[in-house]
Structure 1
Amino acid sequence: MACDCRSENPVRLGEWVEVRVSRTGRLASLEVEDDPSQEILAPGAFTQLSLPLNLYLGGAPSTDMYSPKMKTTASFVGCIQTVILNRREIGILAEALGGVNVGNCGHACEARPCGDAECRPLRDRFTCRCRPGMPHPCPAPDDNTILDSSLVKPNGGTHYERSVPSFSGSESYLHYNDADTMKRIISYRVDINMRFRASSSSGLLLWSGRQADPQEQRDENDDFLALGLDRGYLTLAYNLGSGEAVLRYNLTRLDDDLWHRVRAVRNEQWASLVVDSGTGVSASSPGQLRQLNTDTGLYVGGAPDIVRTTGGRYTKGIVGCISDLVLDSDFSVALSSPGQATNTHSCIP
């Protein structure tokens, strides 16, 4: 069933505007510039889109192709500078199958100000991106160039792009212990949907466990849930108090610095893993206990004193980026505003 989401404020005409749209399951969000995110949850039980038509940008050959639920059938009048779909930049002209009445908007990059480097438009200005083997920076920044990690406001000031956190692998993590997050972790069931890229072959992605007294021996059956990479392969491990289960996704390596989406589901003792909509694998934990009871909160990307925290299961956090983390199909964990952030940075696409 269709649903629509509107920005909080009207879009400013005649100025560059950054719009971010995302959907995970039934949850969709819309962000315009620095305005608060607007979210909407589609009714019903279906969580997958079925889109048989091509992607059209700026308009369509016929208004008959539009859904009758659309509020307007007018084509867009203006300029579109960049389209990034699932973290991949689309070549607006180079990849287009065709176009009608499309003109050049005009930009400083047309004068090739970066020489042999790649000129990337960024609103009214541009960045120069070094090609492999070229020295950095290339060329040296001047009054018209800005760093890749910032955006320029129309009044000339700068603000930072919505944060997609990156992790260094060493004492680098986000921490959450709010009630909304933890009630989705501590239960009989958990559904984790996340998107990440990693350049390290091993590292912790998610952890929730039990606090341990430094003077006491850790109970080998303490409850925990861990998701991470082991020699390039995704591994889910958990203990509900009556024995540990380990589920390893051996069908594809994920340490290729490319974006991957994974889904980890635990329903009482049974659990499954799916990577990039591939074939799922499943396992079950031993014993009779069915509920996860942890009290450390949720660590993302790593954990403090990671060897001790994870009982030696991991020695470092992930080296890479995490762009989405959704629990139970409808709760998006705020990666840009954690309860605590330690040694994290903004991910550069």
Structure 2
Amino acid sequence: MACDCRSENPVRLGEWVEVRVSRTGRLASLEVEDDPPQEILAPGAFTQLSLPLNLYLGGAPSTDMYSPKMKTTASFVGCIQTVILNRREIGILAEALGGVNVGNCGHACEARPCGDAECRPLRDRFTCRCRPGMPHPCPAPDDNAILDSSLMKPNGGTHYERSVPSFSGSESYLHYNDADTMKRIISYRVDVNMRFRASSSSGLLLWSGRQADPQEQRDENDDFLALGLDRGYLTLAYNLGSGEAVLRYNLTRLDDDLWHRVRAVRNEQWASLVVDSGTGVSASSPGQLRQLNTDTGLYVGGAPDIVRTTGGRYTKGIVGCISDLVLDSDFSVALSSPGQATNTHSCIP
């Protein structure tokens, strides 16, 4: 099985470029930056790769190892910052079996700007990340900020950029009740796209529901929408007033303290979940009602008096960080300026 897939535009020299390559059976896809993916279907009936050789990065010991169908035999000249294979980041130097004529590319992380935290290169910039076993937030130059190499002053001083929020799991949350946010929650349809990492196996990520009078028994069919982790797996639950639907994504555990992106979509009674661009799962709520009507606003990362607020569905919030929250594909929730923030800290992503 052999095929040739080329990018739509030439790669820009001297700039960082993100490339995503995937293959499913005979179908291969190549994405370069934000260009449309280029796809090609290999001929024949075989759908499995047989690769007896090791993985070589940047070149190979001999050009005789290359397929004769390759258009070039030249080795790569440049820098490779990150390699993620099947969703696992490869330690380019730590896991290499050997190397020849490999030099240091040069990056701000070489100056150890993160102190005891891990410096994570992001193209020309970097962020600081807690090492395994360190609490959130871990020691940083400023508890309310992360270093951003693109903001360094010429004289050697440093500006700071506000960090993404981290949550402790106990009475730790952000709250939004503004019209722009809520009109995207209270509707016939909602599209949630968020990026987070969690070290807790269970915890609430998002909640919007109905106010409950402490003296009255909660109506089991009160409208609500909840997204969170249950024993390491993502769960979406919602009730539109005529019965509860629960959708669980059992394909990927998310309590590994690594960054994951999830998308939860509800279109009237139907809903779907996708984790890290994987296979989607879907479900539908019972009854005839199709609109979500809540009045608590949107809670992120947890909620006050969480057992009562969620009707016992959750006992704690998430322990970890949330760096992106986009509603309806175009509205980015300002995580750095919520209407109400309680016991949140700055995450070292």
Give the TM-score normalised by the residue count of structure 2. Answer: 0.63
Higher mean C-alpha displacement, 208-217 vs 66-75: 66-75
CA 1:330 to 1:127, structure 2 compared with 1: closer, same or farther past 3 Å? closer
Q: How large is the Cα RMSD of the aligned pairs?
A: 8.5
Deviation string, structure 1 residues 41-69 (Cα, Å, up to 9, x no partner)? 99999999999999999999999999999
Shift of 1:185: 0.4
CA distance 1:95–1:74, change in 2 (3 Å): same
Q: Which moved more, 1:152-161 or 1:209-218?
A: 152-161
Secondary structure (helix, strand or coil) at the match of 2:146 reads coil
Unaligned 5+ segments in structure 2 are: none
Confirm or deny: 8 A CA contact 1:15 1:154 kept in the other structure.
no
**SS of aligned partner of 1:274:** strand
How far 1:161 moved relative to its partner?
2.5
> SS where residue 148 of structure 1 aligns?
strand
The answer to whether the Cα contact below 8 Å between 1:24 and 1:329 also exists between their aligned partners in 2 is no
Shift of 1:334: 1.1
Alpha-carbon distance in structure 2 between the residues aligned to 1:45 and 1:184: 46
Q: Offset at 1:280?
A: 1.3
Q: Tell me if structure 2 keeps the 8 A contact 1:24–1:330.
A: no
Q: Is the 8 A contact 1:125 1:146 kept in 2?
A: no
Please say if residues 115 and 140 of structure 2, whose CA atoms lie closer than 8 Å, have aligned partners that are also in contact: no
**CA shift in 2, pair 1:231/1:106, >3 Å:** closer
CA distance in 1, matches of 2:92, 2:300: 34
SS in 1 for 2:162: coil
Report the more deviating stretch, 83-92 or 35-44: 35-44
Structure 1 regions of 5+ residues with no counterpart?
A: none
1:185 aligns with 2:205: no
CA drift at 1:345: 1.4
Contact preservation (8 Å) 2:236, 2:248: yes
Would the alpha carbon gap of residues 238 and 9 (structure 1) be closer, same or farther in structure 2, given more than 3 Å must change? same
Take 2:175 and 2:39, find their aligned partners in 1: how far apart are those partners?
23
Deviation, 1:163, is 2.1
How many angstroms apart in 1 are the aligned matches of 2:119 and 2:67?
37
Using the TM superposition, give the Cα deviation of residue 292 of structure 1 relative to its aligned residue in structure 2, in angstroms. Answer: 0.3
Aligned residue for 1:109, secondary structure, equals helix
After superposition, what is the alpha-carbon deviation per residue over 1:276-333, rounded to whole angstroms, capped at 9, x for unaligned? 1112111111111110000111001001111111011000000111111111111111
CA distance in 1, matches of 2:340, 2:157: 28
Per the alignment, do residues 109 and 36 of structure 1 end up closer, same or farther by CA in structure 2, a change over 3 Å counting?
Answer: same
Q: Secondary structure at the match of 1:184?
A: helix
Q: Report the alpha carbon displacement of residue 97 of structure 1 after superposing the two structures with TM.
A: 16
Residue 135 of structure 1 deviates from its aligned partner by 14
Counterpart Cα distance in 1 of 2:180 and 2:4: 25
Asked whether the equivalents of residues 83 and 92 of structure 1 are also in contact (C-alpha less than 8 Å), the reply is yes
Q: CA deviation at 1:35?
A: 26
Residue of structure 1 equivalent to 2:280: 280
Q: SS where residue 296 of structure 1 aligns? A: coil
Q: Report deviation, 1:162.
A: 3.5
Moved more, 37-46 or 288-297: 37-46
Q: CA deviation at 1:243?
A: 1.0
Query: How many positions carry a matched residue from both structures?
Result: 349
> Are 1:126 and 1:144, in contact at CA under 8 Å, matched by a contact in 2?
no
Moved more, 63-72 or 337-346: 63-72
> Using a 3 Å threshold, how does the CA distance of structure 1 residues 148 and 66 change in structure 2: closer, same or farther?
farther
Asked whether the equivalents of residues 125 and 145 of structure 1 are also in contact (C-alpha less than 8 Å), the reply is no
CA–CA distance in structure 2, aligned partners of residues 159 and 39 of structure 1:
43
Q: Could you tell which deviates more after superposition, 177-186 or 27-36?
A: 27-36
3-state SS in 1 of match to 2:148: coil
SS in 1 for 2:194: strand
Report 1:1-349 matches (<5 A).
Answer: 153-154=153-154, 158-349=158-349
Q: Give how far 1:256 is off.
A: 0.9
| Aligned sequence identity (%) | 99
Q: 1:230 to 1:83 in 2, by over 3 A?
A: closer
Tell me the alpha carbon deviations over residues 253-288 of structure 1, each in whole angstroms, 9 at most, x when there is no partner. Answer: 111111111111111111111111112111111111
Task: Tell me how far 1:183 sits from its aligned partner.
Answer: 0.5
Residue 210 of structure 1 and its aligned partner are, at CA, apart by 0.7
Moved more, 80-89 or 153-162: 80-89
SS of equivalent residue, structure 1 residue 251: coil
Q: For 1:146 and 1:117, how far apart are their aligned partners in 2?
A: 11
2:147 aligned counterpart, secondary structure: coil
CA contact (8 A) 2:136 2:166 kept: no
Question: 1:15 deviation in Å?
Answer: 17
Deviations 1:169-213 (A, max 9, x none): 011111111111110100001111111111100000000001112
- Comparing 9-18 with 108-117, greater Cα deviation is found at 9-18
| 1:130-151 deviations in Å (ceiling 9; x for gaps) | 9889999999999999989997
Residue range with higher mean Cα deviation, 253-262 or 59-68:
59-68
Inter-CA distance 292–201: structure 2 relative to 1 (3 Å threshold): same
Q: Give the distance between the partners of 2:145 and 2:291, measured in 1 at CA.
A: 54
- Once the 2 structures are TM-superposed, how far is the Cα of residue 214 of structure 1 from its aligned partner? 1.9
Q: TM-score w.r.t. structure 1 length?
A: 0.63
Q: Distance in 2 between matches of 1:22 and 1:260?
A: 18
SS in 1 for 2:133: coil
> Distance in 1 between the 2:25 and 2:296 partners?
28
